[in-house]
Structure 1
Amino acid sequence: MTITTPDTGPSVDVELDILRYGLTEVAREMLDSLMRSAFSPVCRDILDCTSAIHMRTGDGWETVALWEGCMQHAFTAPHIANFVMDEWDIDSMQPGDVIFVNDPWRGTIHQSDVNLLRPVFVDGRVEFLLHSTSHLVDLGGAIPGGFSNGTQTHFEEQLKLPPTLLYANDVPVRPLFNFILENNRVPQLVLGDLRALHGCLVVGERQLQDLIARGGLEKVRAAGRYAIEATEASMRRGIASIPDGDYTAEDFLDEDGVTDEPIPVNVTVKVRGDSMEIDFSGSGRQPLGNCGTAWCEASRCIEAVKLMVDPSTPVNSGTLRPIETLLPSGSVVQVLPPSSCSNHADIGARGINVVTQALSQAMDEAFACDTGTAVVVSLGGIDTRPGHEGTPWGAFALAGGGWGGTWKDDGVSFCVIPIGNCRTSVQEHVEIESPLVIVQHEMVIDTAGAGEFRGGLGSVYSIFAESDTMVTITADRVRCGAPGSNGGGAGSPAYGWYIENFDLAEHGDPLDLRGAEPLFGMFDEQGRPDPNNGEFGRGARYQTGKFSGLVLKAGDALRFVIGGGGGWGDPLARIPEKVLQDVRSGLVSPEFAADAHGVVIANGDVDEAATAARRAQLTADRDQGRWSVPVATPRNWNL
């Protein structure tokens, strides 16, 4: 049965449509199985994982369906299958075999992200590959958790394995399991997660075989092709709506954790008809520190395009077909071995940010940059709590931030940035399984970039330790926050503090800095956060937001304030009633409302005459070069 609609043009085969969503449902069931059976919070709670179905075609392995917990895995999965199968002897594969790989130069994002691939045989031939991936909480190396800040080679990081057989006919390959489990700090979590990654492939194969039995192999394969082509057509329609042209943008990573030099990320987005080229030529050289990537910006940066021109269709290989990406070898987006690339998160976010900025020049329906850093906190140690003595543990925290304002509304507040789009930790689980207490996680006033549509707000994230804890911090946007778009202001940068002898009653106000030692951030001479006139690292323990080896002593706490997204449009054009609503909701202070939006709040309401006068003055000052939109930052710090 086929139908034709004026919007879609070509005929739609209803049976193929049902089967393609059947494939997506198989991927969803795989991810649900993985999440429910995983042991570690990074997979079970944060959902730093994805499942995918790849189909064997004349053009290699193409992804026909996936279900992401972590968006970046959805965009890299199509390439990983081809990296692996290009060197694996497919004729030697047997039912129940499972391949393990975590080598960044063979497709994975960094060594913490492990990928398992399982063949699906139909009539004696491999027709599909099922794929599960997740960040593992630890795989050895010098630093718990894998974000090896300060390292310069991958030899200093975690275990790195080329494609290797993990299961043979569904029987664990004991030497490989022993090698992995004897070289990490939390083998009980790693073993549980590896079994979950394998188990979800078993679930997927059973359901995929049922789908093939009902629909027939050729119909299911046709549905896979249809799924790819439908997504490709939708992406091409979106790209064709952008005027032809070359659109350039430049952004920066703060530094690499080894030197203090900013790292430029340059892009030229070339739009021609319904196709696009994303060229990173001109980006900074391969960094000494660990914040470059081996290849994955070839596809991760396409997240920006997807969000802007085709946000509704499923992600599969069709998402990538209309776009070519150029990555200069030896640059920050294409490091060469033996470079370290364990901190992939910040360059990945910046790649998305810079493509967003370039396309915002061409499109009315655009948006400003998100926070641009997840502020990944990796934690581990030996538990000393009664009843847990001597137990090794590991945990992650994604403190989150805000998304940028858009052409029609404010940005999303208090969430993880789009590169992952994961969840934050389930705090109750963290506190049960780790000697940690999450004492604060909430939005922070004056962290969103000002604009006609402001950015989403950032947050405060405070962690109290019940046992001595080894901590790694991975943060960027610590000198200046997420830039605005179309005249909008920047969001707040990120800050960190160490608080000895933490007491919630005494230290519960995130704007009260008494007793808090600065770890990183932009500070004035009095120690007050000031991104507009302050100096980075003034009075702080670290001169970078990327460091490892911090020991958080039992009874002490860490506090992070993470900035919000950039604002979109002229802040002086924001409707005063919206500013008033933000002030009443505790999202914007009256001081920042006056300084950034030109809105004067008096006696709990908008003073219309004073607002008109202030906006006229700020407009004149801007025209004379005496005023620019201030970078967002809380105004009422208590020293």
Structure 2
Amino acid sequence: MTAIDPVTLAVLKGRLEQIADEMDATLYRSAFNPIIAEARDACHGLYHAKTGDTLVQGTKGLPIFVGAMAFAVKAVIAKVEREGGLEPGDTFLFNDPYSGGTHLNDFRLVRPVFRNGKLFCWLASVGHWLDIGGNVPGGYNPKATESFQEGVRFPPVKLFSAGRLNQDIVDILAANTRVPTSNWGDLNGQLNALDLGERRFTALLDEYGDATVDAAFAAFSDRAEALMRAAIRALPDGRYSFADVLDNDGIVDEPLTIALDLTIAGDQMSLDFSRSSAPAQGPINISHATTVAACYVALKHVFTEVPANAGCLRPITFTVPETTLLGAGAPKPMAGYTETILRLIGVVLGALASADPERATAAPFGTINALSLAGHRPDGSRWVMFSFFGGGLGGNPETDGLSHANNPISTATIPPVEILEAAYPVVFTQWALRPDSAGAGAHRGGLGAVYEIETLTDADVFLLGERGKVAPFGVKGGRPAALNRFAWQTPEGWASPPMVSKVTDVRIRAGERVRLETPGGGGFGLPAERSLDALNRDLRLGYVTPEAAARDYDLTTGETR
């Protein structure tokens, strides 16, 4: 293998990450739907020619896709090994969550990069498309019992063969969505990103040489492995367990458990999820690929110095039985995968905190609250608004949790109210922090938010959320945060869902509203240990009401707060 000096290695790392970042930026600028263009629910990277392992990711893409995209590339490689016929100019499309992870809305495009007639690596793009058919506009069907009710499912298929578009696939895509123009724009945005990435990467190979870049790829992975082994070795050997629950699956109103037994032995770690609940009837199942990707996100939160490539997973083994909701197979529904991975990430962080209590933080709000509103404009055209919403992060040893933050699975941004109102016939009549939503503590959690939305046309309402029954927990004596709450207007008044955090088959009239109140984060440390200045500030700003302060904090000293 070609020797490579540290300076060249550092330069190549920056150049390669910049290529992925440019691919991200290209898609953000050209996508039609706000979930990609504004919320940045997308990712790009470079992958190993033979294994499909992650070589390089950008700094802007959605973290959950970092691990999941490798499984997508592996699925394409498996198809090529079975069927052959790979050549320059091919581009594969698919959205199968069972082999590629996440859910049906996330469409992957995978393209080979050839040098001198030989496959050198793969480029890949993923983006969340607004609607892909199924029973519910937007794809988040809280009542789905199999994937056929969630949308159209594509195994890896050639969208381009030797540079020639397969129009039949485009026609099938257009026929299976309520918003074909939006999906067409997103597809072309991803193709533009791949085109740019291929040009930039080819120029880099021409500049540095194939052997040098290949050696850099190997060095990146080896360094990530070494750093991860060192991080694991710094933790005490032992077995550490943690568990948390989901409200329900939208079908059966019973909690489901995500349980982890984490074992550390020297420089190796194993994560065993065998004690988790069986696959669910409703759409909160996830595949093995998604579970591994979510664990990667959790580990990255803790071991921030370890680079984002496949090398960091070499010291780690995963036990994810198909008999659990974390290793479910077809045709189990997976639209609400985001709710499950949020709980899974919290469980991994909880187990690691047991191994190293100094890393303990309280739970974040723990739900994306996937809200879909859909109707028809006066001209008869269909509109589908999908968005996710913020909440509070958990208190930690250093400070209070962030308020109105996004979830720890993503770098995505919450779409701005101005963009949503411009794109859809809706008006946000309230968008504010939610008082008393944070878990009390020496360092309280961040605050959740209140969103009240009025529709300007009749609209169908769908919500797939969580934390409506089991609140985000506090640690070291901190209190839990407020529960998630959702309601909608009816002629008789406000109504709430029987399943608490999941809604379907609801229709509101023009001028009526829906209201979402998201949880805050859990508290860290005893509330009685919160400083007077901090509590007074919370009272002055309206973050905590006097009633909540009297209930949750120690006011027996007679001090004026």
Fold equivalence (TM over 0.5) = yes
Whichever residue aligns with residue 375 of structure 1, its letter is N
Is the counterpart of residue 147 in structure 1 residue 140 in structure 2? yes
Pick which of 132-141 and 485-494 moved more. Answer: 485-494
2:45 is paired with a residue of what secondary structure?
strand
Whichever residue aligns with residue 98 of structure 1, its letter is T
Is the counterpart of residue 519 in structure 1 residue 499 in structure 2? no
User: Per-residue deviation at 1:447?
Assistant: 0.7
User: Per-residue deviation at 1:516?
Assistant: 5.2
Task: Please say if residues 55 and 220 of structure 2, whose CA atoms lie closer than 8 Å, have aligned partners that are also in contact.
Answer: no
Is the counterpart of residue 225 in structure 1 residue 218 in structure 2? yes
User: Per-residue deviation at 1:67?
Assistant: 4.0
User: Per-residue deviation at 1:405?
Assistant: 1.2
TM alignment of 1:450-599, pairs within 5 A: 450-499=440-489, 517-520=494-497, 542-599=498-555
The equivalent residue for 1:426 is: 416
Is the counterpart of residue 406 in structure 1 residue 362 in structure 2? no
* Matched positions, count: 555
User: Per-residue deviation at 1:597?
Assistant: 2.3
The equivalent residue for 2:62 is: 70
TM alignment of 1:20-31, pairs within 5 A: 20-31=13-24
In structure 1, what is the Cα distance between the partners aligned to 2:34 and 2:54?
30
Percentage of matched positions with identical amino acids: 31
Whichever residue aligns with residue 610 of structure 1, its letter is G
Pick which of 223-232 and 266-275 moved more. Answer: 223-232
Report the CA distance shift for 1:301/1:177 in structure 2 as closer, same or farther (over 3 A): same
The equivalent residue for 1:619 is: none
Whichever residue aligns with residue 249 of structure 1, its letter is F
Pick which of 111-120 and 549-558 moved more. Answer: 549-558
User: Per-residue deviation at 1:457?
Assistant: 1.0
Task: Please say if residues 113 and 134 of structure 1, whose CA atoms lie closer than 8 Å, have aligned partners that are also in contact.
Answer: yes
User: Per-residue deviation at 1:267?
Assistant: 0.7
In structure 2, what is the Cα distance between the partners aligned to 1:50 and 1:599?
49
User: Per-residue deviation at 1:193?
Assistant: 0.4
Task: Please say if residues 17 and 223 of structure 1, whose CA atoms lie closer than 8 Å, have aligned partners that are also in contact.
Answer: no
Cα deviations by residue, 1:516-550 (Å, 9 ceiling, x for unpaired): 51314xxxxxxxxxxxxxxxxxxxxx233122232
User: Per-residue deviation at 1:262?
Assistant: 0.7
Is the counterpart of residue 381 in structure 1 residue 380 in structure 2? no
- Runs of 4+ more than 4 Å apart: none
2:359 is paired with a residue of what secondary structure?
coil
The equivalent residue for 1:368 is: 362
Report the CA distance shift for 1:67/1:183 in structure 2 as closer, same or farther (over 3 A): same
User: Per-residue deviation at 1:450?
Assistant: 1.4
Task: Please say if residues 101 and 108 of structure 1, whose CA atoms lie closer than 8 Å, have aligned partners that are also in contact.
Answer: no
In structure 1, what is the Cα distance between the partners aligned to 2:230 and 2:397?
20
User: Per-residue deviation at 1:168?
Assistant: 2.3
TM alignment of 1:55-204, pairs within 5 A: 55-57=48-50, 59-89=51-81, 92-204=85-197
Task: Please say if residues 298 and 326 of structure 1, whose CA atoms lie closer than 8 Å, have aligned partners that are also in contact.
Answer: no
In structure 2, what is the Cα distance between the partners aligned to 1:110 and 1:232?
29
1:301 is paired with a residue of what secondary structure?
helix
1:36 is paired with a residue of what secondary structure?
helix
Residue ranges of structure 1 left out of the alignment (5+ in a row): 1-10, 502-514, 521-541, 601-608, 615-639
Pick which of 370-379 and 231-240 moved more. Answer: 231-240
TM value normalised by structure 1: 0.84
Task: Please say if residues 54 and 67 of structure 2, whose CA atoms lie closer than 8 Å, have aligned partners that are also in contact.
Answer: no
The equivalent residue for 1:324 is: 317
In structure 1, what is the Cα distance between the partners aligned to 2:305 and 2:536?
33
1:266 is paired with a residue of what secondary structure?
strand
Task: Please say if residues 465 and 502 of structure 2, whose CA atoms lie closer than 8 Å, have aligned partners that are also in contact.
Answer: yes
In structure 2, what is the Cα distance between the partners aligned to 1:355 and 1:484?
16
TM value normalised by structure 2: 0.95
Pick which of 481-490 and 223-232 moved more. Answer: 223-232
Whichever residue aligns with residue 16 of structure 1, its letter is L
In structure 1, what is the Cα distance between the partners aligned to 2:221 and 2:30?
30
The equivalent residue for 2:433 is: 443
Task: Please say if residues 322 and 329 of structure 2, whose CA atoms lie closer than 8 Å, have aligned partners that are also in contact.
Answer: yes
Task: Please say if residues 299 and 320 of structure 1, whose CA atoms lie closer than 8 Å, have aligned partners that are also in contact.
Answer: no
Report the CA distance shift for 1:179/1:305 in structure 2 as closer, same or farther (over 3 A): same
In structure 2, what is the Cα distance between the partners aligned to 1:131 and 1:552?
40
The equivalent residue for 2:342 is: 349
Rg (Cα) greater in structure: 1
In structure 2, what is the Cα distance between the partners aligned to 1:298 and 1:314?
16
The equivalent residue for 1:634 is: none
In structure 2, what is the Cα distance between the partners aligned to 1:67 and 1:163?
27
The equivalent residue for 2:558 is: 610
Whichever residue aligns with residue 573 of structure 1, its letter is E
In structure 2, what is the Cα distance between the partners aligned to 1:421 and 1:611?
42
Whichever residue aligns with residue 507 of structure 2, its letter is V
Task: Please say if residues 454 and 511 of structure 2, whose CA atoms lie closer than 8 Å, have aligned partners that are also in contact.
Answer: yes
User: Per-residue deviation at 1:303?
Assistant: 1.6
Select which of 262, 265, 273 maps to 1:269.
262
Residue ranges of structure 2 left out of the alignment (5+ in a row): none
User: Per-residue deviation at 1:37?
Assistant: 0.5
Task: Please say if residues 383 and 434 of structure 1, whose CA atoms lie closer than 8 Å, have aligned partners that are also in contact.
Answer: no
Task: Please say if residues 105 and 131 of structure 2, whose CA atoms lie closer than 8 Å, have aligned partners that are also in contact.
Answer: yes
The equivalent residue for 1:299 is: 293
Task: Please say if residues 349 and 372 of structure 1, whose CA atoms lie closer than 8 Å, have aligned partners that are also in contact.
Answer: yes
Task: Please say if residues 60 and 411 of structure 2, whose CA atoms lie closer than 8 Å, have aligned partners that are also in contact.
Answer: no
Task: Please say if residues 376 and 382 of structure 2, whose CA atoms lie closer than 8 Å, have aligned partners that are also in contact.
Answer: yes
User: Per-residue deviation at 1:45?
Assistant: 0.9
Report the CA distance shift for 1:566/1:12 in structure 2 as closer, same or farther (over 3 A): farther
Task: Please say if residues 108 and 114 of structure 1, whose CA atoms lie closer than 8 Å, have aligned partners that are also in contact.
Answer: no
